[in-house]
């Protein structure tokens, strides 16, 4: 039996390398695209998580402490604040919830005690917290996300 050998052209040697190169470039491009999509999704979820958590925290505080119309919005140390008044053993105490330097803070003090906004306990990072009393006992809270969206929540107190 005679074997017949074909003469190979240059293209026969270059073609496998060209296909491999195209495959590698395509794989790299798809990997970079997927990484970019993943990063933007994680950033969006983190931003939404922070705003939902902060707004849920405020709503829960209102629901826990709602007694005899003791919830209002006012000014504490130059900051618009949610003010919750409670009476324990015939002494008045105030809880202030406000934004200070990009942080949601909470401060619990007895009436008459001097305190500043920096004395509050940091709850979490938050951006541009807005709060308003729509009507008696109905409050609206919102914060601005990094992408410019402004999710909000409306909370109604039981005692008006």
Contact present, 154 and 140 (Cβ < 8 Å): yes
- The SS3 of residue 97 is strand
From the list 96, 148, 107, 152, the residue with the least C-alpha distance to 129 is 152
* In a domain? residue 137: yes
* In a domain? residue 51: yes
Tell me 128's DSSP state: S
Instruction: Tally the C-alpha atoms within 13 A of residue 70's C-alpha that lie toward its C-beta.
Output: 18
Instruction: Return the pLDDT at 136.
Output: 86
Query: Which range of residues forms the domain containing residue 151?
Result: 39-156
Which range has the top average pLDDT, 39-43, 63-67, 131-135?
131-135
* In a domain? residue 74: yes
Instruction: Return the pLDDT at 40.
Output: 81
Instruction: Return the pLDDT at 65.
Output: 82
Instruction: Return the pLDDT at 85.
Output: 92
Report how far residue 131's alpha carbon sits from residue 62's, in angstroms, rounded to the nearest whole number: 13
- Number of domains composing the chain: 1
* In a domain? residue 113: yes
Report how far residue 120's alpha carbon sits from residue 152's, in angstroms, rounded to the nearest whole number: 23
Q: What is the pLDDT of residues 43-102, one digit of tens each?
A: 777 766 666 788 889 999 998 888 777 899 999 999 999 999 998 888 999 999 999 988
Q: How far apart are the first and last CA of the chain?
A: 104
* In a domain? residue 13: no
* In a domain? residue 2: no
Instruction: Return the pLDDT at 5.
Output: 63
* In a domain? residue 131: yes
* In a domain? residue 97: yes
């Amino acid at each position: 039996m005679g074997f017949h050998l074909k003469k190979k052209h240059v293209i026969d040697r270059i073609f496998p390398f060209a296909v491999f190169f195209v495959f590698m470039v395509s794989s790299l491009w798809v990997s970079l695209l997927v990484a970019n999509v993943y990063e933007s999704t994680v950033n969006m979820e983190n931003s939404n998580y922070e705003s939902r958590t902060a707004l849920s925290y405020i709503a829960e505080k209102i629901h826990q402490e709602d007694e005899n119309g003791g919830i209002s919005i006012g000014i504490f140390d130059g900051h618009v604040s949610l003010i919750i008044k409670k009476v324990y053993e015939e002494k008045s105490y105030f809880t202030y919830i406000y934004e200070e330097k990009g942080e949601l803070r909470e401060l619990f003090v007895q009436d008459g005690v001097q305190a500043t906004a920096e004395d509050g306990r940091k709850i979490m990072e938050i951006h541009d917290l807005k709060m308003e009393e729509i009507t008696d006992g109905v409050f609206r809270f919102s914060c601005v996300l990094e992408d410019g969206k402004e999710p909000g929540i409306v909370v109604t107190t039981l005692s008006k």
